[in-house]
């Protein structure tokens, strides 16, 4: 038995349906004419379609498939058919899902697409256009004129840079070492600081340390010190001597061993020369600590290089 028809509902919806159909017909006509114009321009090669974004190509094809399936479903509904078993319904859902997934990627490419569209329309971008990707280093240079004093101080550096550039060398800025300012220190304060340094050095001397250990009530600590470096050197020297005597050969001494032996002899001679030196504790007895010339730092001896003349053979005439 057929369902009853509501005539009042049909009378209310009929004018709206007719109006929507008329609007749809007008839009279809305008879209059809616009598409025909585009097809004509593409066939006449008015538009360059060889180089483009594959992302836009894919999106437009999906939109076209989506509209085709929607049109097919609308035609089925207008004929009174059922769309539940239609394959177009599954395709519409699939295409709609893909378009939704492409939306974040479309948002990321919006900047690049806008730049390409503006370049295609205008031919080039303006110098101060916000779509310019590369920075302009000239915008970082100050346009204000510098003062004369700054120009005078910078002339020397500029000349050095030009000289280094002309000679092909790398420009190295001058190094200025920091210096302690002692202009506010008086002579009395300087002498007091020197006496304090000498007193601290005297308290750290070997004589005071031995006296402190001798007269202290603390238990004496006995240490068995062994120099493994000297033992290793003595073993190597003994092995070297036995090898030379057994093989009847004389081995050459490497340069680093000669220098180490020389340093050991020098340190031993320094210890022997200062065994009777007690001038480093005069600061504790009221002296000025200058019995040995006033300066505790030994002067370094200048090593003079010997000039050697190379012998050459004279040419006979």
Q: Which of 13, 106, 22 lies closest to 56 in space, CA to CA? A: 106
Q: How far is CA 130 from CA 44, 105, 112, 133, 142, in A?
A: 35, 21, 12, 8, 21
Which residues, including other chains, have CB under 8 Å from residue 65's CB and lie 6 or more apart? 91, 95
Q: State yes or no: pLDDT of 38 exceeds 70.
A: yes
Q: State yes or no: pLDDT of 95 exceeds 90.
A: yes
121 three-state secondary structure? helix
Query: How far from chain centre, in Å, is Cα 105?
Result: 31
pLDDT of residue 299: 53
The better pLDDT of the pair 8, 186 is held by: 186
Nearest 5 degrees, angle CA 300-CA 306-CA 311?
170
Q: How far apart are CA 102 and CA 283, in angstroms?
A: 88
pLDDT of residue 294: 44
Taking only the tens place, the pLDDT of each residue in 104-114 is 998 888 888 88
Task: Write down the pTM of the prediction.
Answer: 0.36
Chain position carrying tokens 């750290």: 204
Q: Which of the residue ranges 163-172, 249-258, 294-303 would you say has the lowest mean pLDDT?
A: 294-303
Taking only the tens place, the pLDDT of each residue in 261-289 is 788 777 666 656 656 655 566 777 766 65
Which residues, including other chains, have CB under 8 Å from residue 125's CB and lie 6 or more apart? 115, 118, 119, 131, 132
Radius of gyration of the chain (CA): 50
Q: State yes or no: pLDDT of 93 exceeds 90.
A: yes
Give residue limits of the domains in the chain: 14-45, 53-128
Token pair of 135 as six digits: 């920075």
> Do residues 87 and 73 lie in contact, with contact meaning Cβ atoms separated by under 8 Å?
no
Q: How far apart are CA 311 and CA 124, in angstroms?
A: 77
* Alpha helix ranges (H) inside 86-227: 87-101, 103-108, 110-122, 148-167, 187-203, 206-215
pLDDT of residue 33: 92
pLDDT band with cut points at 50, 70 and 90 for residue 1: very low
Chain position carrying tokens 């939306």: 103
Q: Which of 60, 130, 69 lies closest to 99 in space, CA to CA? A: 60
pLDDT band with cut points at 50, 70 and 90 for residue 30: very high
> Do residues 73 and 89 lie in contact, with contact meaning Cβ atoms separated by under 8 Å?
yes
């Amino acid at each position: 038995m057929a369902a009853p028809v509501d005539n009042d509902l049909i009378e209310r919806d009929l004018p709206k349906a007719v109006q929507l159909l008329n609007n749809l017909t007008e839009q279809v006509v305008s879209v059809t004419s616009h598409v025909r114009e585009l097809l004509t321009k593409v066939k006449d090669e008015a538009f360059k379609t060889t180089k483009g974004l594959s992302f836009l190509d894919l999106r437009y094809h999906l939109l076209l498939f989506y509209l085709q399936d929607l049109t097919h479903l609308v035609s089925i509904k207008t004929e009174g058919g059922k769309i539940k078993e239609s394959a177009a319904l599954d395709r519409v859902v699939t295409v709609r899902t893909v378009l939704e997934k492409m939306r974040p990627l479309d948002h990321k490419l919006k900047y690049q697409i806008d730049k390409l569209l503006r370049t295609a329309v205008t031919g080039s971008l303006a110098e101060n256009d916000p779509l310019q990707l590369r920075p302009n280093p000239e915008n970082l240079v100050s346009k204000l004129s510098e003062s004369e004093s700054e120009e005078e101080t910078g002339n020397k550096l500029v000349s050095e840079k030009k000289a280094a550039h002309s000679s092909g060398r790398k420009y190295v800025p001058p190094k200025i070492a920091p210096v302690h300012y002692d202009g506010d220190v008086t002579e009395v304060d300087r002498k007091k600081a020197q006496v304090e340094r000498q007193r601290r050095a005297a308290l750290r001397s070997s004589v005071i340390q031995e006296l402190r250990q001798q007269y202290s009530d603390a238990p004496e600590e006995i240490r068995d010190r062994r120099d493994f470096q000297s033992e290793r050197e003595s073993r190597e020297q003994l092995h070297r001597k036995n090898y030379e005597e057994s093989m009847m050969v004389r081995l050459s001494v490497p340069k680093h061993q000669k220098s180490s032996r020389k340093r050991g002899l020098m340190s031993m001679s320094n210890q022997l020369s200062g065994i009777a030196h007690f001038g480093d504790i005069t600061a504790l007895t009221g002296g000025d600590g200058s019995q040995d010339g006033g300066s505790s730092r030994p002067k370094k001896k200048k090593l003079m290089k010997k000039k050697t003349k190379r012998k050459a053979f004279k040419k006979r005439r």
